[in-house]
Amino acid sequence: MIEDLHWLGINWQEGPDCGGPFAPYAQSERGDSYLSAWRRLKDDGWIYPCTCSRKDLALAASAPNDADDEAIYPRTCRSRTDSKQFAEPKGVNWRFRVPDGESIRFEDLHLGAQEYTAGRDFGDFVIWRRDDVPAYQLAAVVDDAEMQITEVVRGADLLKSTARQILLARALEYASPVYFHCNLVRDKTGQRMAKRHDSAGIRQLRESGRSKQEVLRQLEQLP
């Protein structure tokens, strides 16, 4: 991706390929930061261990509101009180206990006022996976805070994740950045472009002999 973005003429001042004041930038090298956030969340009672299997969840789950989103967790493990017994996160999923019924509001710089209700629009979400990998939600919040990010620009498919991340940031006593969610790029049939739909990535377009200008022109013509 880094190579393809540079090919397209997009450059940046700091990042995994060029370093910078907040290095390291690769999440695989930032484990200590995520681990200390996990410890704080655990010690302050924000998270709990969840041992539900995929099968348990599939049986209990109500369907998510939109196809791309995860189902609301049925709160099976929420009342567990054994989190203090864990010295490290691995072996179970760790879920964030959302404040049921609370409205999470934020002003998106592109899409305007947003509002999601915890426990209804999204449930207790995983912040650390049982295979010992910090989940996206936690890694993003910790990175944004430690790298002093003030404005996050990303796709509108992450709007609801912003509500989750605002809750996580609040629990960790971080200031939240402001958000600008872009409309998703769609293909000619109106489908969002995604690897799993086999959409043409920059790499494929490049390998098929298209020039940088042609790729940029093609982007501008998308619906």
CB 10 within 8 A of CB 59: no
Give 93's strand partners. 50
Check: CB of residue 162 under 8 Å from CB of residue 179. yes
Kindly tell me which residue out of 47, 52, 72, 126 binds Zn ion, with binding defined by CB under 5 A.
52
CB of 77 to Zn ion, least distance (A): 3
Among 121, 103, 127, residue whose Cα is nearest residue 44: 127
Residue with tokens 């995520």: 34
- Give least dist CB 171 to Zn ion, A: 19
Query: Segment contacting Zn ion (CB under 5 A): 6-14, 75-83, 113-121, 157-165?
Result: 75-83
User: Closest distance between Zn ion and the C-beta of residue 164, in Å?
Assistant: 17
Q: If binding is defined by CB under 5 A, does position 76 make contact with Zn ion? A: yes
- Residue of 89, 86, 66 whose CA lies nearest to 138: 89
Of the candidates 52, 142, 53, 48, which has an alpha carbon nearest to the alpha carbon of residue 86? 48
Which residue in the set 37, 50, 98, 163 belongs to the binding site for Zn ion (CB under 5 A)?
50
Nearer to Zn ion, 37 or 52 (CB): 52
Nearer to Zn ion, 96 or 179 (CB): 96
Closer of 60 and 149 to Zn ion (Cβ) = 60
Q: Which residues bind Zn ion (CB under 5 A)?
A: 50, 52, 76-77
